[in-house]
Amino acid sequence: MKSSKKIIKNMFSLTIAEVANKGIVFVFTAYLARVILPEGFGIISFANAILVYFLLFVNLGFNVVGAREIAKSHEQIRKYANSINTIRTIIAVIAYSVLFVMTLYLDKPLIVKQTIWVAGLNLFANAILLDWVYQGIERMEFIAVRQVITSLLNLIGVVLLVHSKNDVVIAMLVTVISTMLNAVWMAMLYTKMYGKIKIEFDWKFIKPILKSSLPISFSVFSGIVMNTLNTVMLSIYRTDQETGIYNAAYKILLLVIVPSVILQNSFFPAISRANTLDERKNVIGKFSMLMFLFASLLSLTSFTFSDFVIIFTFGKHYLDSILILKFLMLTSFLMYYNVFCTVPLNGWNKEKEVMYSIIAGAVVSIVLNFILIPKYGAFGAAIGTISSEVIVAIFLTYNLYNSVHKIYIFQLLKFLIFAGISCGLGYIAHRYGLNSIIGGLISIITFILINMILKTFTFKEIKGYFAK
């Protein structure tokens, strides 16, 4: 199958799945946040923020390296799966032991500790998760099915079992069980395709994988610091309620950047195979146009109608999240841009350049969070997030320019200007009495018309991207 056809097939599979998945996640998050209230939502957010630091050691960049190498050649799929699963499982046992003991000495109520211990069981589910294999062989439909099933099980579980703010631990247990079930399902599917997964520890084979994965791990760690340190510090220096208020807005941010996940997973194999300068410019030219289109429209629409988004999703207990969401939407388009730069650099073995860029952002995040959060709380956290993404964008722009000799940020700014005009018209319509949903639709339609009139893109052009 041609690379372009694989991309559109992957995008179709992931788009259908992500729409269904995030629709379910939206209902799940809204229900959970309303039932357990900001304080309970803050406890779960804190537990997940702690967990991701330990997940880093389990994943250790193996998923990116494994998917990249399998995309280049399918000959050693079993070798990669056996070796990576073995070392990740060993690390998971060690990581959970450390997490358990560390939590014992945490100055937090018992319910917080119990939630962290339950969340930690996800380390084992992630250790055996084989979604990176299916990304490498470009069978995104398996990843898509897993995502939808996981979210559906989460929703069913919380609706049946979580009915008050006292059910925080049960809510976390539901998510752990659904993740584990899906990891087992993917392993069974792999067994049918390639045979049983075996315990295999070949140091000569693992050593080069580690060499490539460690820079990615440092990048991921720095990204985790940028995205979760604020939650940890809010829980320590402020209250669980304020942590919940901040993370309600952050959940919307995660929904807004969903298209970036679809696009990066769809384009990554093709980008990894691009060797010549012309091939690289061609594939990331398509990648950039689609990324920036979604970045500008979704970010500014959510910024403009943030009050409607928060109240509709979380209810009246989360009114303080509205202004925070506006701050985070300024971060959203920067996240899109940084993902756009990171994907090709990782695909072309430029992990160290990505690592240094994200470390720079993490340092800024750490400094600003320690300065701003104790005094300004959630708003300080939002400012720290924006500032760190700006620093990362500057470094990544420089590194990507060295690879393709082209700067793409001006293309993003063009889309942002058009989106700003469109959302301005939608907001004016809303101020004159129209429903927020109607105002949002006016913004979207206006954005499309502006781009078509100015021929920034056409539907024929987008279709042509996948026909060549």
> Over the stretch 32-47, which tens digit does the pLDDT of each residue have?
999 999 999 999 999 9
The reported pLDDT for the residue numbered 468 is: 45
The mean predicted confidence, pLDDT, of the chain is: 85
Of 79-88, 324-333, 458-467, the poorest mean pLDDT is in 458-467
CA distances from 233 to 39, 372, 377 (A): 15, 10, 9
In the chain the first and final C-alpha atoms are separated, in Å, by 12
Report which of residues 335 and 62 the model is more confident about: 335
* Distance between CA atoms of residues 149 and 182, nearest Å: 7
Contact 321, 314 (CB under 8 A): yes
Contact 402, 364 (CB under 8 A): no
Q: Dihedral sign, CA of 432, 434, 435, 441?
A: negative
- Please state the rounded mean pLDDT for residues 99-123: 94
Of 19-23, 111-115, 166-170, 272-276, the poorest mean pLDDT is in 19-23
Residue (of 94, 72, 342, 88) closest to 210 by Cα position: 88
* Distance between CA atoms of residues 412 and 354, nearest Å: 20
What is the extent of the structural domain holding 426?
3-465
* Distance between CA atoms of residues 329 and 320, nearest Å: 15
Q: Where are the alpha helices (DSSP H) in 107-202?
A: 110-120, 122-127, 131-136, 140-161, 168-194
Q: Which residue has the tokens 């510090």?
A: 233
The reported pLDDT for the residue numbered 372 is: 93
Contact 57, 338 (CB under 8 A): no
* Distance between CA atoms of residues 277 and 258, nearest Å: 29
The reported pLDDT for the residue numbered 87 is: 87
Contacts of 146 by beta carbon, 8 Å cutoff, 6+ apart: 131, 182, 185, 186
The reported pLDDT for the residue numbered 463 is: 57
Of 211-225, 233-247, 261-275, 329-343, the poorest mean pLDDT is in 211-225
The reported pLDDT for the residue numbered 367 is: 93
The reported pLDDT for the residue numbered 9 is: 58
User: How many structural domains is the chain composed of?
Assistant: 1
Report which of residues 83 and 10 the model is more confident about: 83
Residue (of 142, 191, 152, 196) closest to 174 by Cα position: 152
